[in-house]
Amino acid sequence: MQSSTTNQKTRRQLTCHQLPLAVYREVAAHLRQVEGVETELIMRSIEHDPQEKFDYYQSQVAALKINYLEELAAADKQRVSEILDYYAQRYSSWQDY
C-alpha cells in the first residue's frame, strides 16, 4: 500500500478574463505536452439571463483546471510555470478561480 504522501495531486483552477476560447484551448494543449499534466476547461454556465446581452469580450470559458502529481519533476513544474507566464505576458495575468 502506498503512503498518503505519494500520488497527491496539485490542483489549480485559473482564469484569465477576456481570454478567448481558442487561446484557452491552446494553453490547455500546451500544458498537456508536459508529461504528467492533465487539463480541463470549465465552461461558463449555459443558463443565461434573457435580459443579458452577449459580450464578445467575455470568454466562454470560466476557468482552466490543471492537475499534476506532487512528485512531478522540478523541471516539469518549472515548464508549467513558464507556459502560464508566457500567456499571462501576452494577454492578462492568471487569477485563481
Domain of 62, CATH number, reads: 3.30.70
Count Cα atoms within 13 angstroms, Cβ side, for 5: 1
Residue 65 in any domain: the answer is yes
Provide the residue range defining the domain that includes 22: 9-96
> Per the structure block, which three cell numbers stand in for 63?
476557468
Give per-residue pLDDT as tens, 18-61.
Answer: 788 999 999 999 999 999 999 999 988 766 666 666 666 677 88
Taking residues 58-68, what's their average pLDDT? 90
Residue 1 in any domain: the answer is no
Q: How many domains, the chain?
A: 1
Residue 91 in any domain: the answer is yes
Nearest to 62 by CA among 30, 11, 17, 25: 17
